[in-house]
Amino acid sequence: MNAIKVFFGKRGAGMVRTTGFPKRNEGQGEPIIDPELPIVDAHHHLFDRPALRYMLDDYRKHADSGHNVVGTVYVETQAMARTNGPNVMKAIGEVEFANGVAAICASGVYGPRRVAAAIVGFADMTLGAGIAPFLDRAMAVAPERFRGVRQIALAHPDSEVLQFLTHKPPADLLKSSAFGVALAELEKRGLSFDATVLHPQLPELATIADAYPDVTFVMDHMGLATAAERSPHARAEAFQEWRGVVHDLARRPNVVCKVGGLGTSYWGFDFYLSDEPVTSAELAKVWAPYVETVLDAFGFDRCMAESNFPNDGRSAGFVPLWNALKLCVSGASATEKAALFHGTAIRIYRMDLPEALLAE
């Protein structure tokens, strides 16, 4: 059985419980590029599931491997949800968990790095105004860290494209009237919305961003240009489609972009199928046109770099992943790199990090 399928296929026979991702993908022998550059990892997850465990100790092992990761943004995966109470409030369990992780790290016991210094929690946007009690409770539970909401909105006619998702998104979430009502509740509270969509959905996101100009929308994973299992010609066509809608979306000043997520299967790069370690040079060669596109569209001050770990660990280790992103912007100025690797995330998610962590 393919190892990736064992880790991420449907639960049941053949599933194994493991920690982290295959060692062949670590790539920890690479020298660190720009080792002093402070990084705020704008998107990662922690969870403990029957098929896969990725908790604080796992993330710390990756983050301790050489890159100067000083803080992180925790993004929901519907982990650690409560098992009782109203459905709308069950996701409070994940906010409490993430805030606990943040408190542990803020104590300094595990060093100066501030994991989960900002938290993006799950809320069921199909409930419309019904999400208000959850938002108020989440802000009360983590007033210094709860900064926004994500509900995955991926939609595609081929179910195989979405095979790695642990929770099936609601159908046509972005088109529902309840979604707009829920956005109004975020707007009232100054909370952002992390939009995890595929590139054909970006025009819908643009329309929504126009309708709610006072809500900050964070385009996760660069809009996921969807080209899995396509021919080289079809992938090139998908790139041009994606490039066009990304540039159009970037005209909305209330939309920002997370640079990463390139290790997932949607892009069609197929590094996750390799049985050999993938180097940063190999990654950067393929990723660079996409990274350059979003930076050209949004600018460095509206882009923030992410690891998307452990998910992107399907394709590459933590060290080569960050090295590859640094290689993609090797010609950028120090000011531009500072914005991409920590400044934008700190501003958008209103993160409170000690200034000493950001000194190179």
Q: Give the pLDDT confidence score for residue 157 in this predicted structure.
A: 64
Which token pair is 313? 């660990």
Average pLDDT over residues 284-289: 97
Q: Give the pLDDT confidence score for residue 66 in this predicted structure.
A: 93
Q: Answer whether residue 13 shows pLDDT above 60.
A: no
Which is higher by pLDDT, 15 or 246?
Answer: 246
Q: Answer whether residue 3 shows pLDDT above 80.
A: no
Q: Give the pLDDT confidence score for residue 133 in this predicted structure.
A: 98
| Lowest-confidence segment of 93-97, 126-130, 272-276 by average pLDDT | 272-276
Q: Residue written as tokens 């982990």?
A: 79
CA 76 to chain centre: 9
Find the DSSP H helices in 107-201. 132-141, 177-189
* DSSP-derived secondary structure letter, 300: G
Average pLDDT over residues 78-104: 97
Average pLDDT over residues 29-41: 95
Q: Give the pLDDT confidence score for residue 11 in this predicted structure.
A: 30
Whole-angstrom distance, CA of residue 218 vs CA of residue 150: 9
Whole-angstrom distance, CA of residue 254 vs CA of residue 159: 31
Average pLDDT over residues 289-297: 98
Q: What would the pLDDT profile of 196-215 be if each residue is shown by its tens digit? A: 999 999 999 999 999 999 99
CATH topology of domain 30-351: TIM Barrel (3.20.20)
Q: Give the pLDDT confidence score for residue 160 in this predicted structure.
A: 64
Q: What would the pLDDT profile of 101-125 be if each residue is shown by its tens digit? A: 999 999 999 999 999 999 999 999 9
Q: Percent of the chain, pLDDT > 90?
A: 78
Q: What would the pLDDT profile of 301-339 be if each residue is shown by its tens digit? A: 999 999 999 999 989 999 999 999 999 999 999 999 999
Domain ranges of the chain: 30-351
